Amino acid sequence: MPIHNLGYREWDSDRESGKTRWTVVAGVGIRRAWQSFWLRRIAFVVWAPPLAYGVLIFLFEQVLTNSVQGNTDSMRGLLRLLLPAEMLPVVQVTLDGLDGADRAQMLAAARPLLWKSVMLQLQRSQTIGMVIVVGLLAPSLISQDVRSRAFLLYFSRPLTRIQYICGKCATVLCYLLLTCTLPQLLLYVFGVLLSPDISVIGQTWDLPLRTMAASATIIVPTTLLSLMLSSLTVESRFATFGWFAIWIFGLAAFVVMRNLNGDTSGLVLRLSFLFLLFSDLSVAILDIPSLSPHTDTQFAFIFALSVICFAVIYQKVSAPLRA
């Protein structure tokens, strides 16, 4: 039978809402990214640190369980390993107040502090893995569409520019949630299981919420920044270079300032080096004592950076449609 005699046929499958069209873009990006050999290996490697930090929580809980009188020497040693040097004087005041305290007082004050410190250190260590994951994943997401003119295919369908951007962002967010947020939640569950009693939940119940908030503060601007770099070029290698250059130059500035005068508390430095910026924001969200006076400015900077990156992405995605 000739094709023109087939006529129209009714759609007998379930219809989906047009609001879920972005999930198709995200699904394709996630499946294509998973084909990367190095991305798969890194995604598995970043799940190892939660187990190591879980051992620290276990040792800490054993110290509290076996100590009859308030002895904070072991806690001081653990906190020196976990916290940045500039936070130790503030934390030292809290620990000095626990000298001679009974076990109940020590649990109520020291347990949340050390658990948050462990979570902060895990988050700082996973930032390195996050940089590599994003560097392997994000640079090609939009730049390849620009080079291959895949926009002609995307926007020939009923797909809006916002849905396209959401699909690309969801691709990066999926892997960052897998490699950053989920391991931290796993660490909390692991720590609860290793604790001697269930009272630990009552003293640390807000930690998973704070952890997810801190992860979101890091993941969202990171995703938008990497996709902005991808949208600015048709060559993904240039976007990759730009992504790693931002982190390397920030690290170089930090090393130079530390070696010159040892002062790394300047606002410009802590804004230009994203590692320090994200660390300060995590400290504030986790409610760990800190001497940093720039927290409000840093939150405003992250918000402004996210808005600017989204505006640039939207403008670059819209450009081919105006041509």
Question: Higher-confidence residue: 103 or 113?
Answer: 113
Average pLDDT, the chain: 80
- For residue range 14-46, list pLDDT tens digits in order: 676 667 788 888 888 888 888 888 888 887 788
Q: Does 153 fall in a domain?
A: yes
Q: Does 212 fall in a domain?
A: yes
- For residue range 192-214, list pLDDT tens digits in order: 887 777 878 888 888 999 999 99
Any residues with CB less than 8 A from the CB of 276 and at least 6 apart, and which?
A: 250, 254, 264, 269, 270
Q: Does 1 fall in a domain?
A: no
Q: Does 276 fall in a domain?
A: yes
pLDDT at 271 over 70: yes
Tokens of 200: 């630990």
With bands split at pLDDT 50, 70 and 90, how would you rate the model's confidence at 70? Answer: very low
Domain count, the chain: 1
Q: Does 5 fall in a domain?
A: no
- Residue 47 CB coordination number (10 Å): 15
State the alpha helices, DSSP H only, in 103-138. Answer: 103-137
CA–CA distance, 317 with 241 (Å, rounded to integer) = 21
CA angle 66, 201, 118 (to 5 degrees): 70
| Contact predicate 113/203, CB 8 Å | no
Question: In terms of residue numbers, what domain contains 123?
Answer: 20-322
Q: Does 8 fall in a domain?
A: no
CA–CA distance, 118 with 83 (Å, rounded to integer) = 8
Q: Does 265 fall in a domain?
A: yes
| Contact predicate 204/190, CB 8 Å | no
What pTM, to 2 d.p., does this model score?
0.84
Q: Does 174 fall in a domain?
A: yes
| Contact predicate 246/272, CB 8 Å | no
C-alpha torsion sign, points 180, 182, 185, 190: negative
Q: What is the Cα 299 distance to its own chain's centre?
A: 15
| Contact predicate 277/98, CB 8 Å | no
- For residue range 45-68, list pLDDT tens digits in order: 888 777 778 887 887 777 766 654
